[in-house]
């Protein structure tokens, strides 16, 4: 199942870690995850979300603000009854843990490029296979997954196609153009519209979208901490001016949560 990120040979258990026939070895961290992100594959010293961003997302999600999104994601995954699944870009593990509960009989994997995120995520569901790894070089074998989950995460479509077994599928969850519209209106003079279907044009040959749906609700942000955490876990936390960010944190308001789910299958 696991392959070496350096030479693509199969990885086997070797003491407190894994190794390939070529002698490349990767140790298991105290928290239980494997770091399969070699130094030469990093774009920075510590890539991905930092500890502050991960903690902000953990507080916000554990507060239940996005619970309906996680519930529907888990329902859609359970309907597919995958034998083996992978959460690509798992972050701090909130959605991953919900998937694990919905798929108790399946073999579950999760990865993120952020070591800080995976360190925290691995505490949520210790029985899963947790990996620090690149989404562009996923260290899993060709055709090894029957379900891929991508939640608010960038996606390498060719990697998705490579990882999926025929008949398996990608469960993608991402924002619609209405998502957090009120927050964006408070942060920017010009709120830019965007095409929330543009990802469908990127689907490679051999894959096809077979189901799409949307979930939308209003979310009151009554606590200053929740407003600050929402800012910190989105790109708006560093794009907007400090003055606009402070104004958002200062006053309660409601935002629209609007999410699109797509099930995209690899064709037989």
Q: Is 66 annotated as a binding residue?
A: yes
Burial class of 145 by CB neighbour count within 10 A (0 to 12, 13 to 18, 19+): buried
User: Does 206 belong to an annotated binding site?
Assistant: no
pLDDT at 87: 98
Q: Which fold has domain 45-266?
A: Rossmann fold (3.40.50)
> 24 a known binding residue?
yes
From first CA to last CA, the distance across the chain in angstroms is 21
**How far is it, in rounded angstroms, from Cα 200 to Cα 221?**
32
Cβ neighbour number for residue 243 with a 10 Å cutoff: 7
> Is there a binding annotation on residue 145?
no
Q: 161 a known binding residue?
A: no
How far CA 187 is from CA of 53, 60, 213, in Å, comes to 19, 19, 28
3-state DSSP of the chain: CEECCCCCCECEECCCEEECCCCCEEEECCCCCEECCCHHHCCCCCCCCCHHHHHHHHHHHHCCCCHHHHHHHHHHHHHHCCCEEEEECCCCCHHHHHHHHHCCCCEEEEEECCHHHHHHHCCCCCCCEEEECCCCCCCECCCCEEEEEEECCCCCHHHHHHHEEEEEEEEEEEECCCCCHHHHHHHCCCCCCCCCCHHHHHCCCCEEEEEEEEEEEEEEECCHHHHHHHHHCCCHHHHCCHHHHHHHHHCCEEEEEEEEEEEEEECC
233: exposed, middle or buried (Cβ count in 10 Å: 0-12, 13-18, 19+)? buried
The answer to whether 90 is annotated as binding is no
Residue 136's nearest CA partner among 153, 155, 161 is 155
Closest-CA residue to 150 (of 206, 76, 83): 76
pLDDT per residue, tens digit, the chain (268 aa), is 899 999 999 999 998 999 999 999 999 999 999 999 987 545 545 555 778 888 999 999 999 999 999 999 999 999 999 999 999 999 999 999 999 999 999 999 999 999 999 999 999 999 999 999 999 899 999 999 999 999 999 899 999 999 999 999 999 999 999 999 999 999 998 888 888 899 999 999 999 999 999 999 999 999 999 999 999 988 877 788 889 999 999 999 999 999 999 999 999 9
CB 150 within 8 A of CB 88: yes
């Amino acid at each position: 199942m696991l392959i070496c990120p350096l030479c693509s040979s199969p990885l086997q258990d070797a003491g407190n870690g894994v190794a390939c026939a070529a002698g490349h070895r990767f140790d298991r961290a105290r928290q239980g995850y494997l770091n399969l992100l070699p130094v030469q594959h990093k774009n920075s010293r510590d890539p991905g979300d930092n500890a502050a961003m991960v903690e902000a997302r953990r507080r916000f999600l554990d507060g239940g603000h996005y619970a309906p999104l996680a519930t529907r994601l888990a329902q859609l995954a359970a309907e597919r009854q995958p034998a083996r699944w992978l959460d690509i870009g798992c972050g701090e593990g909130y959605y991953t843990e919900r998937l694990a509960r919905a798929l108790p009989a399946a073999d579950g994997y999760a990865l993120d490029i952020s070591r800080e995120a995976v360190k925290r995520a691995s505490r949520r569901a210790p029985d899963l296979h947790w990996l620090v790894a690149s989404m562009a070089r996923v260290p899993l074998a060709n055709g090894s997954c029957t379900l891929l989950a991508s939640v608010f995460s960038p996606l390498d479509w060719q990697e998705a196609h490579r990882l999926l077994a025929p008949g398996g599928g990608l469960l993608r969850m991402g924002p619609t153009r209405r998502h957090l519209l009120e927050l964006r209106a408070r942060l920017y003079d010009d709120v830019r519209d965007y095409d929330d279907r543009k990802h469908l044009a990127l689907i490679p040959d051999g894959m096809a979208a077979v189901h799409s749906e949307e979930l939308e609700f209003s979310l009151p942000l009554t606590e200053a901490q929740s407003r600050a955490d929402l800012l910190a876990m989105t790109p708006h936390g560093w794009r907007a001016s400090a003055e606009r960010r402070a104004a958002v944190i200062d006053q309660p308001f409601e935002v629209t949560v609007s999410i699109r789910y797509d099930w995209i299958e690899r064709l037989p």
